[in-house]
Amino acid sequence: MTELVRRRLARAVTAGFVAATALTAAAHGAAAADTLGSAAAGKGLYFGTAVAANHLGESAYTATLDREFSSVTPENEMKWDAIEPSRNTFTFGSADQIVTHAQGKGMDVRGHTLVWHSQLPSWVGGLGASDLRSAMNNHITRLMDHYKGKIHSWDVVNEAFQDGGSGARRSSPFQDKLGNGFIEEAFRTARTADPAAKLCYNDYNTDGVNAKSNAVYAMVKDFKARGVPIDCVGFQSHFNPASPVPSDYQANLQRFADLGVDVQITELDIEGSGSAQATNYANVVKACMAVSRCTGLTVWGVTDKYSWRSGGTPLLFDGNYTKKPAYDAVIAALGGTPGGGDGGTPGGGTATCKATYTRTADWDGGYNGEVTITAGDRAISSWQTTVTLTPPQKTQSVWNGSPTWDAAGNVMTVRPTWNGSLAAGASTSFGFTVGKNGSNAAPVVGACTAS
Ligand code: G3I
């Protein structure tokens, strides 16, 4: 049995478990919707996203990430400038944060990227050839060693070919000083550093058959013929009206797969909206599914608002983490069950929330209270709760919530200000200051209602 078949079988067993769980839920009357990760697992694929460490503290971001995706790629945190900003000083903090989070949620991690001309600190470009060679190999070895056993695939070399019709290598410190052989050397070093990791070449504008992809194809063919260790080719798949999904996308994936490497969609985003965007996304997913060595897809971000091309709204969740038509199209293409109690699709399940109270500060004449509102098992667009004080206590101020009072001024009804939209399971909070006027009684927080 090949590694690929084993992986797909393992995925299918997991998917069977997910499906069985969903059936049980359906039998009990609950909605049984798939997520991107579970629907993809049903087809033996992973469904990943690029993640930025500095957004992990945002509850809606993390709730969506954890619910939907089965693989993550650090968007910038494993690049050379982040990992080795000065020679032999390695800073793994932000990348570690992502890897630890992913492992805690049972997600795979793609490593991006070991050798790239961009986001390269200036000290690298200043080295002479032999120094550069040892710096490159040292960087690969130290970085891979740090994450040994935790990365399913590494982008060993990224974007080493020029755009346009030349099929030539791109100018970079590595190309210019070490020549064509730097790519082969990087792959050999990487294999030694972590023999279990899949080693990928990754590029953009190689998604259809063209001069650039032909050049990459020739390199991979040569590597396979000479036994240079390469396991996979990544197709970034950044699409927009000027660079649409090519009509020979699937055929191109297939010709690389036929060389004996896996193929992966590594940075998918498609600018646009509505049904046009949805159709494009579905076509990409279907192309991957039709190529047996296509092992998974990664979209280049969780939400449009943090996309590197946010103006083009190229992702599956909008800025409020609501599922877009493209999301539904991906689920449908994967043969999943759309909608249901999974957040984001209005109408799927009942909107619920809960409110919990904490006293966050206390002094002789008053106290501060904080109420945390947490959405239930679907996304909500608004919420409301009450806070009842014991007279003669009086509210002095309220923040992150919009209050109204009953005639006596004891019962405060609070609605959202800016923070009404919450993804399933996500939280927000509002706070208030109360003058005790001699009473230290705790306020009573009423039921939370959501829409
Ligand atoms: O974090 C700093 C911030 O402190 C500073 O204030 C700000 C000012 O410009 O910059 C911030 O860093 C930015 C970083 O993204 C994090 O947001 C960099 O300027 C910006 O250049 C960087 O862009 C990244 C880009 O690669 C760099 O080439 C994008 O996030 C990232 O999505 C993009 O990803 C690449 C893949 O690695 C390779 N394929 C193409 C893809 C899209 O360009």
For the CA of 112, the closest atom of ligand 1 is 37
The per-residue pLDDT for range 352-383, each reduced to its tens digit, is: 889 999 999 999 999 999 999 998 877 888 89
8 pLDDT exceeds 60? no
Q: Measured on CA atoms in the order 165, 166, 171, 174, is the torsion positive or negative?
A: positive
Q: Nearest-CA neighbor of 15 among 100, 299, 23? A: 23
393 confidence band (pLDDT: 50, 70, 90): very high
Least confident span in 152-156, 161-165, 406-410 = 406-410
Residue-level pLDDT at 375: 87
137 pLDDT exceeds 90? yes
Instruction: Tell me what percent of the residues of the chain surpass a pLDDT of 90.
Output: 81
Q: Nearest-CA neighbor of 121 among 93, 88, 94, 75? A: 88
Please give the sequence-ordered ranges of beta strands (E in DSSP) within 301-393, or none if there are none: 353-363, 366-375, 383-388
Residue-level pLDDT at 255: 98
Kindly report the backbone phi and psi dihedral angles of residue 420, in degrees, each rounded to the nearest multiple of 5, phi listed first.
-80, -35
| Average pLDDT estimate for 194-223 | 98
Please say whether the beta carbons of 263 and 257 come within 8 A. Answer: yes
The maximal CA–CA distance of the chain, rounded, in angstroms, is: 85
230 confidence band (pLDDT: 50, 70, 90): very high
Compare 342 and 367 and report the one with higher pLDDT: 367
The per-residue pLDDT for range 161-207, each reduced to its tens digit, is: 999 999 999 999 999 999 999 999 999 999 999 999 999 999 999 99
76 CA → ligand 1 middle, Å: 7
User: Atom 2 of ligand 1 has which residue's CA nearest to it?
Assistant: 76
Please say whether the beta carbons of 50 and 299 come within 8 A. Answer: yes
Compare 17 and 70 and report the one with higher pLDDT: 70
249 CA → ligand 1 middle, Å: 27
Q: β-strands 402-405, 427-435: how paired?
A: unpaired
| Average of per-residue pLDDT values in the chain | 91
> Which of the listed residues 76, 81, 205 should we mutate to test ligand 1's pocket, taking the one with most ligand atoms within 8 A of CB?
76
Query: CA–CA distance from 446 to each of 14, 344, 352 (Å)?
Result: 41, 25, 14
The per-residue pLDDT for range 410-428, each reduced to its tens digit, is: 999 999 988 888 887 888 8
Least confident span in 8-22, 32-46, 74-88, 90-104 = 8-22
3 confidence band (pLDDT: 50, 70, 90): very low
Query: CA–CA distance from 342 to each of 330, 348, 385 (Å)?
Result: 15, 8, 23
| Average pLDDT estimate for 432-445 | 94
Residue type, 177: K
Residue-level pLDDT at 361: 92
Instruction: Supply the DSSP symbol for 417.
Output: S
User: pTM for the complete prediction?
Assistant: 0.75
> Which of the listed residues 238, 308, 309 should we mutate to test ligand 1's pocket, taking the one with most ligand atoms within 8 A of CB?
308
H/E stretch holding 224: helix 211-226
119 CA → ligand 1 middle, Å: 8
Q: Which residue is listed with tokens 């020979």? A: 248
| Average pLDDT estimate for 130-138 | 98
Residue-level pLDDT at 32: 59
Residue-level pLDDT at 380: 80
Residue-level pLDDT at 19: 37
Q: Which residues contact 1 (CB under 8 A, 6 or more apart)?
A: 9
Give the separation between CA 386 and CA 410, rounded to whole angstroms.
10
Q: Which residue is listed with tokens 């063209």? A: 210
321 CA → ligand 1 middle, Å: 21
Q: What is the C-alpha end-to-end distance of the chain, expressed in Å? A: 51
Tokens of 395: 């509210």
Establish whether residue 75 lines the binding site of ligand 1, counting it when its CB lies within 6 angstroms of any ligand atom: yes
1 pLDDT exceeds 50? no
Kindly report the backbone phi and psi dihedral angles of residue 112, in degrees, each rounded to the nearest multiple of 5, phi listed first.
-145, 115
Residue-level pLDDT at 349: 66
Kindly report the backbone phi and psi dihedral angles of residue 231, in degrees, each rounded to the nearest multiple of 5, phi listed first.
-115, -20
96 CA → ligand 1 middle, Å: 18
Q: Which residues of 377-391 are buried (b: 16+ CB within 10 A; e: fewer)?
A: bbbbeebbbbbebee
Catalytic choice (75, 185, 267, 271): 267
Establish whether residue 73 lines the binding site of ligand 1, counting it when its CB lies within 6 angstroms of any ligand atom: no
Give the separation between CA 45 and CA 30, rounded to whole angstroms.
26
**Helical H segments across 28-90, by residue range:** 36-41, 59-68, 80-83
Residue type, 383: W
Give the separation between CA 412 and CA 429, rounded to whole angstroms.
15
* 267 has catalytic annotation: yes
Nearest-10 Cα torsion for 414, 417, 420, 426 = -90
340 confidence band (pLDDT: 50, 70, 90): very low
Nearest-10 Cα torsion for 255, 259, 265, 271 = -30
| Average pLDDT estimate for 283-294 | 98
